Amino acid sequence: MHRRYSIKGKKVFQTIYKLGKRKQGQALRIITLPDLKENSAITKISPKVKIAITISKKYGKAWQRNKAKRRIRSILTKLISEIKDGFYIIISLKNQGRETSFLSLEKELKFLLKKSDLIN
């Protein structure tokens, strides 16, 4: 996943957490928000899609959190072309995700994105 898809700025995160719609599975949780032009906290330029990956420090040591982020980023690299334009997405990995295999994570992320009506 390329850096141009990253969400940047504390106010943008706060707005997404406050107004976004939440969906969750066993290992993942996603929060989605369409690009709101009238909202000043969201950037005025409509991106294709902006994505952030968050993991709590309770998940484990830094190398474990980084490994989990790399797994999710590689899954998103495959799916990025299928995701609808103009959405902000925050993906959080739960502590139960530590024991989850790569294929299960991929399957669950696809399911949550379909459930949120972001991919077909």
Which residues 6+ apart lie within 8 Å of 6 measured at CB?
50, 51, 52
Note the pTM of the prediction, 2 decimals: 0.85
Task: Using CB atoms within 10 Å of the CB of residue 112, give its burial: 0 to 12 exposed, 13 to 18 middle, 19+ buried.
Answer: buried
Q: What is the CATH number of the domain that holds 97?
A: 3.30.230.10
**90 part of a folded domain:** yes
Q: How far apart are CA 21 and CA 2, in angstroms?
A: 24
One digit per residue, the tens of pLDDT, for the chain of length 120 reads 677 778 888 888 899 999 999 999 999 999 999 876 655 455 555 457 889 999 999 998 999 999 999 999 999 999 888 888 888 999 999 988 888 899 999 999 999 999 999 987
Q: Let me know if residue 28 belongs to a domain.
A: yes
| Segments forming the whole domain that contains residue 49 | 3-115
